[in-house]
Structure 1
Amino acid sequence: MRILFLSYWGLDDPLTISTVFPHLRILQQRSDVESILLVTIERNGGAPAFEPAFEAGKVVYAPLVSEPGRNVLITKTDDFLRFPKQLVTLASEHKSDFIVARGAPAGALAYLVWKQNKLPFYVESFEPHADYMLESGVWKRFDPRYLFQRYWERKQKELARGLMPVAENYRQQLIEEGVPAANIVTVPCSVDLQSFGFDEQLRAQTRARLNIGAEAPVGIYVGKFGDIYYDAEAFDLFRAAANTFGPDFVLIVLTPNPVAEVQAKLAAVGFTEKQVFVTKAPHAEVPGYLSAADFAFATIKPAECRRFCSPIKVGEYWAAGLPILLTAGVGDDSDIIQKEGGGAIFDLTRPDTVPAALQRIAEVLQQPDYRASIRCLAERYRSVERAREAYAQLLPSAG
């Protein structure tokens, strides 16, 4: 088999590194896979060098370069006019048997390719992206991006050879909508369990480098502020955690948002410089910071469609053995926490749930084996083996 694997993110995007690369490793391990053409969308006007930190003998790379510096609507329109034609050419030159698209926006491009040449396609990490953006307030109901993406998602449901939603909640929804159950396999966002496992030595080294005491309680947040994530509310939550865990509490924030802007917001809610560390960390350095922490925040805005997501950060936190302070109604994860542990759930429409959730986190930290038990959740729900099994079930068999 010759596979064209399409990522909607750039090659160096942390999401490509954390979610696409593990799938490439799985696919190239199959004896019936001859070649994988990895295609990413680069939005900085250039093509990066493909230098993966894993053996990629079957993978070749071809970027699609988006024109930078223009109005976002013009850029997206141009992308969806140019890229399908380029993908048709790339698939023909590569002699691709089918496309595997990462996420519904990439799936939209795969559908547009199918319209031209009927090349079969699969969509992994399939989510209701249009509804995400609408319910988060990023897109409006009559935004052309919303209207087109919603239509393209409907076509993916009709025409894709296989869909891999990231939450069982969404698999059930797709079945109710009429998608054949045999064409759907749930694959939560996979995590490299080995890379993200708790490391006592890394913990000590990172804490020493950041001048954090060995016994200080440490919370960590990894990700953006705004859009589908809480912004001002997240900083209030950080403040509540500091009030719960006392003056020795330290907060680590790893974010692509401007560091000075985040530091100012932390200062505005009463944090001192010694209580916080804010940086934009390469993905390879994240495990060290997670090992240095004791618990984690996942402050995702609530919305109806959030039941269908699978935040990669939740899997990474669990792999490091960290209990998570998580918003209610997020994917399958909120239900897992309520039934099996692994953190605590809060709901800002019910203010009393915040101190209760923080108290629950404090209780978990008193358990001597809490990291090991939480790590089991990552092994059960976020292992790359889930993706391997899905590809075995959905992709054509050898011969």
Structure 2
Amino acid sequence: MKKILYLTYDGLTDPLGQSQILPYIIGLSQNYSFFVISFEKKQRFQANKEYIEDICRQNNITWIPLSYTKKPPILSTLFDILKLNIAIKKLLKTEKIELIHCRSYITSLVGLGFKKKRNIRFVFDMRGFWADERVDGNIWNLKNPIYKSVYNYFKKKEKSFLSNSDSIISLTEKAKSEILNLNPTIIEEKIVVIPCSTDFSKFSPENIVSSSEIRKKLNISEQSFVLTYLGSLGTWYLLDEMISFFKQLHKKYPDAVFLFISPEPFEQIINIAKKHNVDKKLIRHSFVRHDEIPQYLSISNLGIMFIKPSYSKMSSSPTKFAEFLAMNIPVICNDIGDLAKHTNQIPG
């Protein structure tokens, strides 16, 4: 079998790794031999290491976890890039890798280098306009000359990744169009659009025997209307607006509760609820492993996800959208990426 090296700066023990990375690799591992190098956060690695090791072992995936360095900014990333280079060189001493699949920009800095030095094919799985996301998300302030330099560096590298890659993966048709607009020399066929999706064998209402136990565990009555948010909140998700929506929903459904299935601290959510005069007794919170999420989603009447609109979010494809729909749960959301196109294709 052909040997593929998959590089990700996210961890397989992260929720994102379990929902967006592993399912794809597992599906492809029947025809390809995969080596995965990921960067793991300490707490999540300790909590989920054995679980991920079992999954990889069952699917003949060789997992090489590296520790993620958080601080100081910029220097920590440079240190991680050095660690990644060392790990790949060590792997190449014993394995003949035919293709390097790089998830997003940081790993592509390394992957492109090995394409040029070792002539190994390079897939640029760009996900989105990463440098612009950092600016739109107020992570990089362009008034700061250091961040301005870093932004310009990555925009220059973006063009290099796009032009030198053997294939490009975009999450949305909108982002593909923008790539072609900004880079007219790129052949359209080189770009493959693969939106985030979900595993219908796991996210299926047919797998749910009873949701009563989950309602009982979360102290939610059988009669209560359940609005659910799934996933991290981070930079992009509009918590204020979602709490405000729930406040209006509660007027129509007085027994309604707002469930957050999220790794975010409960206090963070409660503080925003207080700001909108929403009683904390109406908020529920739980953080569970990815394989347990369908059971928790099964108690939902409605899903919600409001995302901050910006230039960079034309490339956004939220996995939670597919996970809600797979469980036959309607979702209220704003128009981000190709979501309007997808919703128009849904019957009813």
- TM class, shorter-length: 0.7 to 0.9
Contact 2:10 2:38 in 1 (8 A): yes
**Structure 1 counterpart of 2:224:** 216
Q: Which amino acid is 1:331 matched to?
A: G
- CA distance in 2 between counterparts of 1:129 and 1:265 reads 28
Residues 236 and 112 (structure 1), Cα distance of their counterparts in 2 relative to 1, 3 Å cut: farther
- CA distance in 2 between counterparts of 1:237 and 1:113 reads 49
Of residues 126, 129, 151, the one that matches 2:156 is 151
Contact 1:4 1:37 in 2 (8 A): yes
Residues 132 and 96 (structure 1), Cα distance of their counterparts in 2 relative to 1, 3 Å cut: same
**Structure 2 counterpart of 1:331:** 337
**Structure 2 counterpart of 1:61:** 63
- 1:59, distance to aligned residue in structure 2 (A): 1.3
- 1:6, distance to aligned residue in structure 2 (A): 1.2
**Structure 1 counterpart of 2:9:** 8
What secondary structure is seen at the aligned counterpart in 2 of 1:36? strand
Residues 264 and 124 (structure 1), Cα distance of their counterparts in 2 relative to 1, 3 Å cut: same
Q: Which amino acid is 1:27 matched to?
A: L
| Structure 2, unaligned runs of 5 or more | none
- CA distance in 1 between counterparts of 2:221 and 2:67 reads 46
Contact 2:124 2:162 in 1 (8 A): no
Q: Please identify, of 43-52 and 111-120, the stretch whose mean Cα deviation from structure 2 is larger.
A: 43-52
Aligned residue pairs total 336
Deviations 1:293-345 (A, max 9, x none): 011111211002211211111111111112211123x11013332x245xxxx
Of residues 30, 42, 59, the one that matches 1:44 is 42
Residues 105 and 189 (structure 1), Cα distance of their counterparts in 2 relative to 1, 3 Å cut: farther
Contact 1:88 1:113 in 2 (8 A): no
Pair 1:242-2:250 in alignment: yes
- CA distance in 2 between counterparts of 1:60 and 1:54 reads 7
**Structure 2 counterpart of 1:77:** 78
Q: Which amino acid is 2:342 matched to?
A: I
Residues 187 and 265 (structure 1), Cα distance of their counterparts in 2 relative to 1, 3 Å cut: same
Instruction: Normalising by structure 2, report the TM-score.
Output: 0.87
The 4+ residue runs of structure 1 with deviation greater than 6 A are none
What secondary structure is seen at the aligned counterpart in 1 of 2:209? helix
Instruction: Normalising by structure 1, report the TM-score.
Output: 0.77
- 1:93, distance to aligned residue in structure 2 (A): 2.7
Q: Percent identity?
A: 22
Pair 1:229-2:258 in alignment: no
Contact 2:104 2:124 in 1 (8 A): yes
- 1:260, distance to aligned residue in structure 2 (A): 2.3
**Structure 1 counterpart of 2:23:** 22
- CA distance in 1 between counterparts of 2:35 and 2:267 reads 39
Deviations 1:196-249 (A, max 9, x none): 112553433322332323332110011233412224333223323323x32111
- CA distance in 2 between counterparts of 1:294 and 1:204 reads 14
Contact 1:104 1:127 in 2 (8 A): no
- CA distance in 2 between counterparts of 1:226 and 1:99 reads 29
- CA distance in 2 between counterparts of 1:71 and 1:96 reads 33
- CA distance in 1 between counterparts of 2:213 and 2:267 reads 25
Q: Which amino acid is 1:335 matched to?
A: K
Q: Which amino acid is 2:188 matched to?
A: A
Residues 231 and 251 (structure 1), Cα distance of their counterparts in 2 relative to 1, 3 Å cut: closer
- CA distance in 2 between counterparts of 1:226 and 1:238 reads 19
**Structure 2 counterpart of 1:187:** 194
| Structure 1, unaligned runs of 5 or more | 342-372, 375-399
**Structure 2 counterpart of 1:377:** none
